[in-house]
């Protein structure tokens, strides 16, 4: 944790200042079909998130946390309501426009790291930058800076199988922010880790978000870790409330 705190002064992050909320979830509803029955997962979910703010999303399994993150990250469309990104409504955007916005502005971290096993830590972080069109040299430089910031400066050439669970997840975090998104969505990012490693990865993620001015929603079952964030949201019968 100290490595992250020390490095935060050196990392060149964006300003957290913003004129208004970066993300607005406005009366969002989402319904799924199960045979002949309809299941309302989200009924009236509303929240706002400012740049530089890190918010915990705490709710039981099956309550709709992943669905909410998918809608906030433009992976799914709501059945009702709207998601505004930097003031822009997104529900009516074309698939191509939503994909471009998601690719350029949103980073995702999942419970399992999903790193490419045949590539090194550095290469895993370089790849999304190359896909976006960044030059190889600049991409490698940024990847090395991110991984060093996250305490992995000595592990750049290691493949995922040569890294611990916590190190793998930190590489996944670096990959998620490699293209400098403004919104980070993390779905149980420490769910597969032991308590000590979970605390370290959680601190790493939140320190990076705050240092770079990211807005972040972190879904977690860990109430102790959730208490360290700026606010805590939960889902109750399809309604998003602050607790």
pLDDT band at 50 (very low <50, low <70, confident <90, very high): very high
pLDDT tens by residue, 22-36? 999 999 999 888 777
pLDDT band at 7 (very low <50, low <70, confident <90, very high): very low
Query: pTM for this structure?
Result: 0.81
For the chain, the 3-state helix, strand and coil shares in percent, each to the nearest 5, are 35, 25, 40
User: What are the residue boundaries of the structural domains of the chain, listed by start?
Assistant: 23-117+179-242
Q: Give the pLDDT of residue 11.
A: 37
Least trusted range by pLDDT, from 89-103, 189-203, 228-242 = 189-203
Please give the CATH number for the structural domain made up of 23-117+179-242. 3.40.50.300
pLDDT tens by residue, 170-213? 899 889 888 889 999 998 887 777 787 778 777 877 888 888 88
pLDDT band at 16 (very low <50, low <70, confident <90, very high): very low
Q: From CA 111, how far away is CA 186, in angstroms rounded?
A: 8
Least trusted range by pLDDT, from 101-110, 153-162, 194-203 = 194-203
């Amino acid at each position: 944790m100290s490595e992250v705190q020390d490095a935060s002064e050196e990392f060149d992050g964006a300003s957290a200042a913003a004129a208004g909320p970066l993300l607005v979830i406005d009366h969002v509803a989402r319904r799924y079909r199960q045979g002949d029955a309809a299941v309302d997962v989200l009924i009236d979910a509303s929240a706002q998130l400012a740049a530089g703010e890190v918010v915990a999303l705490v709710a039981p399994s099956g309550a709709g946390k992943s669905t909410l993150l998918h809608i906030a990250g433009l992976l799914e469309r709501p059945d009702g309501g709207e998601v505004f990104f930097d003031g822009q409504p997104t529900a009516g955007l074309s698939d191509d426009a939503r994909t471009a916005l998601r690719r350029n502005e949103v980073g995702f971290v999942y419970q399992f790291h999903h790193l490419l096993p045949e590539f090194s830590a550095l290469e895993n972080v370089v790849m999304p930058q190359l896909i976006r069109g960044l030059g190889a040299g600049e991409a490698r430089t940024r990847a090395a800076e991110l991984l060093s910031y996250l305490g992995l400066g000595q592990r750049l050439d290691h493949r995922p199988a040569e890294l611990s669970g916590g190190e793998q997840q930190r590489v996944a975090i670096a990959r998620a922010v490699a293209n400098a998104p403004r919104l980070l969505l993390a779905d149980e990012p420490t769910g597969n880790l032991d308590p000590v490693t979970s605390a370290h990865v959680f601190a790493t993620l939140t320190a990076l978000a705050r240092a770079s001015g990211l807005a972040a929603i972190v879904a977690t079952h860990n109430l102790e870790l959730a208490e360290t964030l700026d606010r805590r949201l939960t889902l109750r019968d399809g309604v998003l409330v602050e607790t």
